[in-house]
Structure 1
């Protein structure tokens, strides 16, 4: 009798272990999951920012070689006092550095520890947009409760600039015929940008018309290396991917030193960057949006190599609609409902699993 009972207990324990190890349902909205980030893999193909691995776990009071470079990085993107990027920096982790790290962690939705933990260094070392966060280039944030119950995290350039013309608002854009990358056919690049512009046009009453007249276009797109005449030089592979200027400037620049890809299934380079994701992000800046602190948003400042993130989230859409109003042919309600149904499905799965676990535990207690 005892061997049979022992076998039954063993079977129940194995069943309970398998149940607890079952993955939760995924509840993401139109966004591919972030690619894994580690603090050692992102700088293998470029020296845009030297490896900050030696800074792991640095905190206030420590002094580590490389902190001065990190201070310049944080100053560049708006987390240190104005002008700090061009001032002499030391390798001391002082109170100003701790405050900057906390601001960075908060703005990028990381655990706010004030220390250079692995999650923070991984995000710092990830490729990103060259437009600053937290007021660098002067963005203004908003915090709004959405109809779906979430809190919006989108931001704008200072003054909430937007394109204004008599209705209907149609902006022309052109891809530079000379500032290109030789391995991507011009028509392929144009197709990518058509899709990227169409995503924004779907949600706001703004049209985009492609033109061959580059100099006369409202929005001018080009690939450049290093210094290229706008005072914001690019820094090589896997550093700053691109940058764009607020309305009505219209310039959208991409770093030609990156390995740009349009089809990750066919692309073999582990350092490849998805062109459509970056194009969609930079168009958001051209329209007046700053960076979002929502990691799933297109307007989040960083993008991992080989990551695809081109579909607009609720946060992206609410931000651009704040500037231009909603497109009469588009409604956010379906996205809210989808998000809600996913959350409900996850809750139901958890509730059902809890009940089953309880039943198994009761049986085990009875047998023991």
Structure 2
């Protein structure tokens, strides 16, 4: 009976309004913060120091000194505020359930703050608004590395996934993509890598960072070979499986010049939970890329694309249905500890 009393007591705590958990409660050293990977298998953030390093890596904690302490200080609180604002979360400055669940979720390795907002819209571009400067209609080539590939999926399957992903974007802009065999001469160079692979953006193993791609006209497109890449969740039963097409479609947006959006349902939102598929461009994605390249003459807005698509609060990216009882208990205990 006692564990159930604890559970429902903590459940009551997490259902309190965010304002009831003030930043004042956080100003202490969080030395015994339980490892977040117990909540989300593969999470790489187990303390405030780790969270500071995470926020620093993605551009939210812009400090010259990276010898971080395990203290909830003013800079950390401000970084959380900016992170919450940038990702369309409730801005509280607190490490609440919503914020923690985003931090432990797998995501793209491109920093969120290497971008600028485009007026009142949610879509964003890299600084300087780079794009491919070719004659419209445009043709871009892509090729796969012969060395840096994975063996868990056959090449024919991978090629088909990339073809579909490129088609998602070419259906809305006057840009076509063609696969070639000459890797060195391709506009977009694709490979699966592990750890430090020479571009200054090392991969971190299972989950964590899934992939990254560089802005135009660099054309580098890298995926973490350590992931359990899947094209069919029926055939791939791993609970840490990542949908390849969803990640590829997202990274192509970077290749074209889009940065991260605050719209949770959009392709260009930075995170993707395991065993979740998201491949359809939303209105925010389409408006952003069409502002760079114009519209495909054959593209027409359908009824499924409405103004509601650009609401930053309409997403189901982090629905609690994907969390098991153990996850609830650990996250609730984290929130409870922060309130002590």
Q: Report 1:7-156 matches (<5 A).
A: 43-44=40-41, 46=42, 49-51=44-46, 66-81=47-62, 83=64, 87-134=66-113, 138-144=114-120, 152-156=121-125
- Cα root mean square deviation, aligned: 1.7
Query: 1:42 offset after TM fit, Å?
Result: 5.5
Structure 1: gaps spanning 5 or more residues: 1-38, 52-65, 145-151, 341-368
Partner of 1:221: 190
Match of 2:174 in 1: 205
Q: 1:244 Cα shift? A: 0.4
Change (3 A) 1:255 1:102: same
Distance 1:295 1:285 in 2: 17
SS in 2 for 1:220: strand
Q: Separation in 2 of the partners of 1:338 and 1:143? A: 16
Determine whether 1:258 maps to 2:253: no
Q: 1:76, 1:331 → 2: CA distance? A: 39
Q: Residue 165 of structure 1: CA displacement?
A: 1.3
Question: TM-score if structure 2 supplies the norm length?
Answer: 0.77
Number of residue pairs aligned between Structure 1 and Structure 2? 274
Tell me what 1:29 maps to. Answer: none
Bigger Rg, structure 1 or 2? 1
Deviation string for 1:182-240 (max 9, x for gaps)?
11101110000000000000000101011111110000110000011111100000110
Distance 2:251 2:64 in 1: 25
User: Displacement, 1:336?
Assistant: 4.1
CA separation of 1:42 and 1:164: change in aligned 2, threshold 3 A: farther
| TM-score in terms of structure 1 length | 0.72
Partners of 1:252 and 1:336 lie apart in 2 by: 28
Note the residue ranges of structure 2 that are not aligned, 5 or more in a row.
1-35, 310-340
Matches for 1:162-311 after TM superposition, within 5 Å: 162-311=131-280
Q: Is the contact made by 2:136 and 2:175 (CA closer than 8 Å) also made in structure 1? A: no
What SS does the aligned partner of 2:210 have? Answer: strand
The answer to whether residue 140 in structure 2 is matched with residue 159 in structure 1 is no
Closer, same or farther: CA 89–272 of 1 in aligned 2, 3 Å? same
What is the rounded CA distance, in whole Å, between the counterparts of 1:337 and 1:314 in structure 2? 7
2-structure distance, mates of 1:82, 1:280: 32
